[in-house]
Chains A and B, each alone.
Chain A
Amino acid sequence: MSTHAGTRRVARYDVRLALGALVVVAAWFALYRVNGPFWDRLLFDVVGLDPATRVGETVRFFVFDTTKILLLLAGIVFVVTVLRSFVTIERTRALLGGRREGLANVAAAGLGVATPFCSCSAVPVFIGFVAAGVPLGVTLSFLIASPLVNEVALVLLLGMFGWEIALLYVTAGLLIAVVAGFVLGRMRPDRWIEPFVFETPVGTSDVAGPRPTWRERTQMGREEVGKIVRKVLPYLLIGIGVGALIHGWVPESFFVRYAGRGNALAVLVAVLIGVPLYSNAAGVLPLVEALYAKGLAMGTLLAFMMAVVALSLPEIILLRRILRPPLIAAFVGIVAGGIVVVGYLFNAVL
């Protein structure tokens, strides 16, 4: 135990860690600033591509966007992981246990964003929440918000479209999670839940041991950045690649004619395409950026992205172990319906 107190004392005055962090932050901002000018010089001055040609434009879009998105991704995943190391799923459960539906749905949606949570833990979390007296609708609000309001998507939107769109996305995501959880809670969902969920005796172990030190928190952040980058890189490269092709080669009128503002079904079709599509925010957003530049409406694109990240087949298969088909159908239907409504709303307002 004395060794723990020792490390803790060192960690509190960890000057080297703080200096290291400062250097990394400065380097990050420098790289972000230099990204555009660097590629312009390399491609157009050194390699000799012509920025006015399609090839030049496509290549520039690809390398510039890849660099920018990787930088944003690394930065935000690190910050979010460190922040989330202060929240645990056990604490979240304690906060939500025994609350009545309504305001608790709002809290659950917010905590769904703040709590570190991997969708592969959806089933143990569900059972654990129910055992602690968290109402079913509130538990569902948590489970909907967690993938829907996603830090990767938030940062990419921030980097590509500015804070207004990013804020709109977070608000819409939270709103969908609150309303969908509340509506599902009103449908007496307990009849569609496998009985073993209520019968399982749930242990109470106050896990996770001692509070992590700052060194451990930054360590977690670094590990998570490596993991996420490795995981999303293939999606990202494909997304940016297709985005670059659209950017350079597809005429503007093409998408506007089929999915522009004039098409009343655009949002609905976007969501129907997005739900079965299994990708992640980093793969979808480069596409969204390229399509936006081609004149597609923002509401349609946001709805598409949300449909892709919120509902995924692997998660639904996991949930099927505890939820019966009628509840799975209601879950998917209500979340998808919420996304459609939000899409039309944005198209009407923006």
Chain B
Amino acid sequence: MRIQVLGPGCDRCHTLSRNTSEAIASLGLDAEVEEIDDVIEIVRRGVMATPALVVDDEVVSAGRVPTADHVRELLVAHM
């Protein structure tokens, strides 16, 4: 599973990375959070509202900071 957090390095993006790491740990997944802060790369994914969560190249959340529990649900829904 490829998990990426898209955001230009603001507080909200870091919070999302943290929540995602927590969710990954609680699910016992073998995955790491990749942070993408390059604006061009973010726009290329079609994301305008940051931070966004991308799982296997699919944007599953954008423009808000889901809690660790919510990220967990999003990841489970994607598996």
Residues of A within 8 A of B (CB): 88-90, 93, 116-118, 120-121, 123-125, 127-129, 131, 196, 200-205, 207-209, 220, 223, 318, 321
Q: Please indicate the chain B residues that have their CB under 8 angstroms from the CB of A93 in the complex.
A: 48
Decide if A121 touches B43 in the complex (CB within 8 Å): no
How far, in whole Å, are A89 and B47 apart by their CA atoms in the complex?
10
**Chain B minimum-CB-distance residue to A322:** B39
Q: Please indicate the chain B residues that have their CB under 8 angstroms from the CB of A90 in the complex.
A: 48-49
Known: A89-B49, A116-B49, A118-B50. Is A202-B44 also a contact (CB below 8 A)?
yes
Known: A118-B10, A120-B7, A321-B39. Is A202-B63 also a contact (CB below 8 A)?
no
Known: A116-B63, A207-B59, A223-B65. Is A125-B8 also a contact (CB below 8 A)?
no
Known: A123-B39, A318-B8. Is A88-B49 also a contact (CB below 8 A)?
yes
Q: Please indicate the chain B residues that have their CB under 8 angstroms from the CB of A129 in the complex.
A: 48
How far, in whole Å, are A318 and B43 apart by their CA atoms in the complex?
15
Additional pairs, 13, CB under 8 Å, beyond known A124-B47, A203-B47: A89-B49, A90-B48, A118-B10, A121-B8, A121-B48, A203-B43, A203-B46, A204-B46, A205-B45, A207-B46, A207-B47, A208-B61, A208-B63
**Total contacts A-B at CB 8 Å:** 85
Decide if B44 touches A203 in the complex (CB within 8 Å): yes
How far, in whole Å, are A200 and B39 apart by their CA atoms in the complex?
10
Whether a CB of chain A sits under 8 angstroms from the CB of B40 is yes
Decide if B50 touches A120 in the complex (CB within 8 Å): yes
Decide if B10 touches A202 in the complex (CB within 8 Å): no
Decide if B61 touches A209 in the complex (CB within 8 Å): yes
Residues 34-76 of chain B: 1 if any A CB is under 8 Å from the residue's CB, otherwise 0?
Answer: 0000011011111111101000001111111101000000000
How far, in whole Å, are A318 and B42 apart by their CA atoms in the complex?
15
